[in-house]
Structure 1
Amino acid sequence: MSTSVELAHPAALRRGQPGFRPVAVGLFFAGFTTFALLYATQPLLPALVDAYGITPGTASLSISVTTAGLAVGVIPASALSERWGRRPVMVASLAAAVVFGLLAAVVPGFVPLLVLRGLEGLALAGLPAVGMAYLADEIDGAHLGGAMGLYIAGNSVGGFGGRIVVSTIADLTGSWRWALGGIALLSGVCLLVFALVLPASRRFRPRPVGVGELVASARVHLADPVMRRLYAVGLLVMGVFVCAYNYVTFVLLGPPFRLPALVVGFVFVLYAVGTATSTRAGRLADRLGARPVLLGSAGVAAVGAVAMLAPSVGVVVAGLALLTVGFFAAHTVASAWVGRRAEHGRAVASGLYLGAYYVGSSVGGTLGGVAYGLAGWPATVGFMVLLLTLAAAVVRPLRPA
């Protein structure tokens, strides 16, 4: 009797069990591909400024429209995953994003580039929220923080690996178009690995979801004060993170540092810090609780932001490293908390979190550019510290369930 029940609804996976590693590795590659494509133009912003005669803030729209497209698409993609299944939606999403990425490398004009980048973000919407929901479905709650950390570690590796590839190709060829095409091809290879490794869902059963049910599920999550605060945390810390990496390149390329473009491109290696941080932060939150880890993460990121005002390359890079540690830790813990708290409609709950997260990317990256244009780098750093202060204020009232 018990055997038939287990076959009908298998037990959630725990660390060390045979099925745990393929799930974690598959989502790692998915995270890599998502971030590599999503922020592919970030190290190319100075090149876009030169190519089209635009301001840094305008060039940053090539990132903002992509993250905005993702923010718009996460809830519809979550609904599709409830009907068609988590894995098919994720695979189709990444495949479409790779195609749009290749087209963006050859399309003429800045406006058509923005259109394709927006479509690329819309296609990528099927991955982040659905991936979080997939993990929440398949992984035991006691081990979810560590698994979510490995998934987000894939994001960080995609972040720095993708940017290094883009910077290197751009430097070797002298063409930002070749750089965009190269990262799209690499993402296609990662998509193939993801599709081969990730197992089909064991504990999820597809079911049709109507618009009314989708709206009702979203209302339930938005009515939860804890969920609202977690969504706000994602929005604020992502705004800080994108703002920092968008404009620190202009700081390092300009006076007094005047570093070579290829050297500045390698600053994205600091994403590797997030690889280790995300996994450890998830496990630390599993042991100590999410709230203290979130507060500590915001504090570490704020110290890093202030350090980036120093007139020393070493201190600026160290400050960016601290900010990166704080961001990845906060994102890991907040996203895992959302997965644990959502007893029903996990894809919608994750979609709302990712929607807020990428709205933060679009708004934070754009407003940071406005601050940079009006009063330079100190104003941008002040803007980031303000967002982190708000994040800490949002987290303070939270208590464990």
Structure 2
Amino acid sequence: MRVAPDEAAGITSRGAVRTCGGSVTIKQEAQQTWTGHRKDSVEYRRILIALLGAGIATFAQLYSPQGILPRLADDLHVSAAASGLVISASTIGLAVAVLPWSLVADRIGRVRAMRIALVAATVLGLVMPWSPWFSSLMVVRILEGAALGGIPAIAVTYLNEEVDARHAAIAAGSYVSGTSIGGLLGRLVAAPIADVAGWRIGTFVVAVMAALATATFFWITPPPRGFTPHSVSIRQVARATLEHLRSPRLVVLYVQGCLLMGGFVATYNYLAFRLEAAPFNMPVGLTSLLFLAYLAGTVSSRASGDLAARWGRGTVLIASTMMMIAGICITLSSSLPVIIVGLVIFTAGFFAAHSIASGWAGARTTRNRSQSTSLYNCWYYTGSSVFGYLGGVAWLHYGWGGLVTMVAGIALVAAVWALFAARGRS
């Protein structure tokens, strides 16, 4: 019997490669051998630029009210601690949403899920400034945070699927750099405009900027190659979550995110209240310039990946946390230049530590990776919500010294616990 040329090659008419156990599609075979984009490829650069846009869209909206909380508190007639809930509301919404977003992303794809998240968040961001009451503002901020949860829940998993494993730590550092730029732009844009036109116009302009960043993400993201769609049930997500929470090597990383982010947000939430009071008496527009310290985080998060490749993630994580402690203690000074130096050190240490811990949470497991990165973000933003509010309580009752004590204390706990993570370099 005559055999057709395609059959002799082992290829069926439906594009499948025959094996002794059946047939495997060419697409599946390509995915099985896919190792990720290399650092010198065009697609690698496109991924980083796309995630820069996503980082700007996400974190500009998430934290744009932070530098203008005193103005918002006066306008809506709430206390300093209550105004901090504007940040906590969005971060608690984000914390609750990250695991559901990971389930959605497993089914429909990382890029598609991130696009949906960005569009929903941008629409809510454009609505948020026009909330007439503090209670309605809280509702919109919770929903906005839940929508924004689709980016940090998915981004690191997306990087681990699309980027060569040898460059994953560096790529994760670059992504975190983008988030720091987003947070910086949100604060720098909103505060000066709020000084002139009010906090509502300031945050609205940030939302418009986020819409442009979202459009950039849509335009430049390359087609995904490392993702294989699969149906994941709520029961499977719950099982994977429990499995990760039973792993001390993963839990120690989740705790890093919770404690360090909590201290970081508390510091920046109430720094403006301190500097606008005596003896500094600085206007909102001027205090917002202190957020330029975020540029130190942009540099340190990128550099942390290179340092981790050389010295190990655990060593860099602990060293970065100690930088945070040193920096926050320096801000106890009554000299503004010294406070700025302390803030720069503190910010650089935080972003380096966060870059290491977030990337490690995804890399330290090969099973249910998206649930691991989502759990990290869940703990991370829960810490932001809880300690962001408690920092206001410390500020109201004990002043800046009380807030510094809280932040340094929880960072020290994180550093001691991080010794467990330092036991392995992987």
Tell me if both proteins adopt one fold, taking TM over 0.5 as the criterion.
yes
1:28 aligns with 2:49: no
Q: Does 1:237 align with 2:260?
A: yes
Residue 10 of structure 1 and its aligned partner are, at CA, apart by 2.5
Select 2:73's aligned residue among 45, 49, 54: 49
Cα deviation code 1:317-360 (max 9, x no counterpart): 11111110110000000111112112021111110000000001
Amino acid at match of 2:184: F
Matched residues in 2 for 1:381 and 1:216: separation?
39
> Contact 2:263–2:411 (CA<8 Å) still a contact in 1?
yes
- Supply the distance in 1 between the matched residues of 2:258 and 2:164 (Cα, whole angstroms): 27
**Hey, what does 2:113 align to over in structure 1?**
89
Q: Deviation string for 1:83-126 (max 9, x for gaps)?
A: 01001110110111111111111120111011101100011111
SS at match of 2:379: helix
Give the TM-score of the pair, scaled to structure 1: 0.97
> Which 4+ runs in 1 deviate beyond 3 A?
1-9
Partner of 2:337: 314
1:9-24 map, 5 Å: 9-24=33-48
Separation in 2 of the partners of 1:23 and 1:81? 17
| 1:185-229 CA-partner distances (Å, limit 9, x unpaired) | 110000000111112220111111001111111111111111000
Whether 1:162 aligns to 2:191 is no
Q: Report 1:2-401 matches (<5 A).
A: 5-6=29-30, 9-173=33-197, 175-398=198-421, 399-400=423-424, 401=426
1:244, 1:113 → 2: CA distance?
23
SS state at 2:239 partner: helix
- For 1:192 and 1:366, the matched residues in 2 are separated by 33
User: For the residues of structure 2 that align with 1:108 and 1:125, how far apart are their CA atoms?
Assistant: 25
Where structure 2 has 5 or more consecutive residues not aligned to the other structure, the ranges are 1-8, 10-16, 18-24
Q: Is the 8 A contact 1:36 1:158 kept in 2?
A: yes
Q: List per-residue Cα deviations over 1:30-61 (Å, max 9, x = no partner).
A: 11111101112101200112112211100000
Quote the offset at 1:152 in angstroms: 0.5
- Give the letter for the 1:65 counterpart: A
Indicate conservation of the 8 Å contact 1:30/1:127, yes or no.
yes
TM-score by structure 2 length?
Answer: 0.92
CA-to-partner distance for each residue in 1:205-257, whole Å, 9 max, x for gaps? 11110011111111111111110000000111101110110011111111111
Per-residue CA deviation, residues 105-148 of structure 1 (Å, 9 max, x unaligned), is 11201110111011000111111110111001111222111100
Contact 1:86–1:130, Cα closer than 8 Å, also in 2: yes
Write the deviation string for residues 345-380 of structure 1: whole angstroms up to 9, x where unpaired: 111111000000000100110011111111111000
Over 3 Å counting, the alpha-carbon distance change for 1:7 and 1:124 in structure 2 is: closer
**Residue 42 of structure 2 aligns to a residue in which SS?**
coil
Cα separation, 1, equivalents of 2:339 and 2:388? 19
Q: How many positions carry a matched residue from both structures? A: 400
Q: Counterpart amino acid of 2:59?
A: F
Q: Which amino acid aligns with 1:48?
A: L
Letter of the 2:209 partner, please give it. L
1:68-91 Cα shifts (integer Å, max 9, x gaps): 000000000000000010011101
Larger radius of gyration: 2
The worse-fitting range, judged by mean Cα deviation, of 346-355 and 255-264 is 255-264
Does the residue aligned with 1:397 lie in a helix, a strand or coil? helix
Q: Percent identity?
A: 37
Counterpart secondary structure, 1:201: coil
**Distance in 2, Cα, partners of 1:346 & 1:79:** 11
The alignment partner of 1:179 has SS state of helix
